[in-house]
Amino acid sequence: MDNINTRGFRIPRSRTFETHHALCDEFMAAIEPLVLNTYSHSAKVRAELEAAFATEMGAKYAVAVGSGTIGLFLALRACGISAGDEVITIANSDISTTAAITNCGAQPVVADVLASDYTIDPDQVEALITPRTSAILPVDLHGHPANVKALRPIAERHNLTIVEDAALATGAQDYGRPVGAFADAAAFSLAPFKPFGSAGNGGMVVTSDEEIYRNLCLLADYGHAPRGPNQPDAYQNYIAEGYNVPLDALQAAILLIKLPYLKEWTAKRRAIGEALEAGLAGTSARTPKLRPESAPTFRSYTICVDRQLEVHQRLREAGIEAVIHYAPPITHYSVYAGLFPNADQLPITERLGREIVNLPVSPEFTDEDVDFMIETTKSILESYE
């Protein structure tokens, strides 16, 4: 593994390649029949992953698609979100969140977030509801579960759908249940840098609602009606404008092998997050404070600092591949100019955009790696005191 390019970082964003090396023989054995057999074998592997993932997430159904972004878009469409609707979400997320809404023809409406864990503030939501509001889209930011259970009664009072953006939170739990349990549908990313990722792009949508599931299947397969018992194989009947977006079977095969390790890797991510929290206590870094009923996974570990850009740069110069995720907020993006009339009413979102720095978290990190991150970060912060 000496020839693996980690771009010169002692602590890279991810060391998933180490796990892939360890599982290489299993990967190759699973991939070979996909290349050498008929395509029906690919469909079988994808279906096996969907069933296993649904079970892992405590849902009745799962649909594997080409990316987390397309999964979120299809989830909204499957729940009936369309032109003229409004969807309440947050501004300190990836552009995929708001793009999924606007690509349905709907209007995103942004709520402020909690200073404690950076997820949507349920107390801010009800005031944003209008006759056009059709859904709430909470985001499990950085792997911190949004309090979707608290949003549920709000949604029921106003007849709203909840579509959860769980792209960064595969493996996390809240109130003793997997993320997505309190939503009508939840979308996950299976991309390489996510907590449960493959070697390429991928996504999954889970639901326990049969109608939403049927809509997902329809939209992910061109919008083609299911073939009836007396219809020929070549029969075509499109009842919706859908898309050709199934998860690639090669990625499905890799994920099937990795899925049994998800709980173990999630526990390691939590242990690293706990070590970083304890190690940085007493410094000027402000760390997330998660609800006691929340059991996160950590896609990364976030700290808030006064000299964001300087700290970020010095961490990278010291060999730690720190990043700054979802800052500035999407309300600052040129593509959304004028779209959010309440953009100046998001004080916590704005503050996080100026302060947040993301430290790497990867299950393959050793205790020495974590200690190095702690001591290096402390040294940088102390130099500003």
Count: domains in the chain: 2
If you count them, how many residues does the chain have? 385
| 157 and 46 share one domain | yes
What is the Cα–Cα distance from 166 to 155, expressed in whole angstroms? 18
Nearest to 186 by CA among 330, 53, 45: 53
Query: What is the structure's pLDDT at 5?
Result: 40
Backbone phi and psi for residue 11, each to the nearest 5 degrees, phi listed first: -120, 90
What is the tens place of the pLDDT at every residue in 263-310? 999 999 999 999 999 999 999 999 999 999 999 999 999 999 999 999
The enclosing H or E element of 254 equals helix 249-258
pLDDT at residue 2 is higher than 50? no
Section 341-363 average pLDDT: 96
| 113 and 39 share one domain | yes
| 130 and 147 share one domain | yes
| 41 and 143 share one domain | yes
Query: What is the structure's pLDDT at 239?
Result: 85
**Least confident window among 3-12, 56-65, 327-336:** 3-12
Out of 260, 275, 301, pick the residue that ends a domain: 260
More confident residue, 2 or 231: 231
Section 183-193 average pLDDT: 97
Question: What residue numbers bound the domain in which 327 lies?
Answer: 262-382
| 248 and 336 share one domain | no
Query: What is the structure's pLDDT at 154?
Result: 98
Nearest to 141 by CA among 254, 376, 298: 298
C-beta separation of 99 from 70 below 8 A: no
C-beta separation of 45 from 252 below 8 A: yes
CATH number at residue 144: 3.40.640.10
| 252 and 276 share one domain | no
* Those residues with Cβ within 8 angstroms of residue 341's Cβ, 6 or more apart along the chain or in another chain: none
pLDDT at residue 45 is higher than 70? yes
| 181 and 196 share one domain | yes
Q: Which residue has the tokens 């349990």?
A: 181
Query: Could you give the count of Cα atoms lying within 13 Å of 259 in the half-sphere of its Cβ?
Result: 17
pLDDT at residue 180 is higher than 50? yes
Write down the mean pLDDT value for the chain.
Answer: 95
| 213 and 267 share one domain | no
C-beta separation of 302 from 308 below 8 A: no
Query: What is the structure's pLDDT at 7?
Result: 63
Section 349-353 average pLDDT: 97
